Amino acid sequence: MTIKLAKDSIDLALVTNQLEEMTAFYRDVLGFEDRGQIAARSTPGGRVAQLQCGSSLIKLVRYATPSFDERARGLGVVGFRYVTLHVRNLEEVVEACERAGRPVVTPIKHIDPQIRVAIVEDPDGNLVEFLSVTRRAKPRPGAKPRESLVESAPQPSG
């Protein structure tokens, strides 16, 4: 069986206790389009902020009563650890994150002659990897797949 996608992108939900701070980061710092807030269907009193990123929808979910451990962070924790955004203005994005006080976990660096990356933390400590490709490089015959920089980044303490 092969999945038959009806959309060329994914929607991502991030559960947070800091709905306003997270919305401000993704909307004001990264420039995602604010699609408004709705009531969380899964929990009375919860809210969902919807932000458009290209054809992907980022859903920031705040439950009325948090039911998760905020200390469970970093790359060694089971579950989604980071998201990668392909950008054309890497320096500008990293500078905006720095001005907003977001920690830069990995400053801009080349991981390949045509590929540069940087990693920042959002207000909840999720890792956001920004990747800039100067041109599409054809894989070398027999080359191993590229290891993500995030996999070798230092783990946030906490």
Using a cut of 0.75, tell me whether the model's pTM lies above it: no
Residue 79 token pair: 């579950």
Q: pLDDT at position 73, please?
A: 59
- Please report where in the chains the tokens 């089971």 appear, as a residue: 78
Summarize pLDDT for 17-71 with one digit per residue, the tens: 899 999 999 999 999 999 999 988 766 788 999 999 999 999 998 888 775 666 6
What the chain holds in terms of domains, given with CATH numbers, is: 12-62 (3.10.180.10), 82-138 (3.10.180.10)
Contact present, 53 and 34 (Cβ < 8 Å): no
Helix (H) or strand (E) holding 98: helix 90-99
Phi, psi (rounded to 5 degrees) for 140: -70, 145
Considering only 16-25, 113-122, 132-141, which range has the smallest mean pLDDT? 132-141
72 pLDDT band (50/70/90 cuts)?
low
Q: pLDDT at position 79, please?
A: 62
137 pLDDT band (50/70/90 cuts)?
low
Instruction: Give the whole-angstrom CA distance, residue 111 versus residue 119.
Output: 13
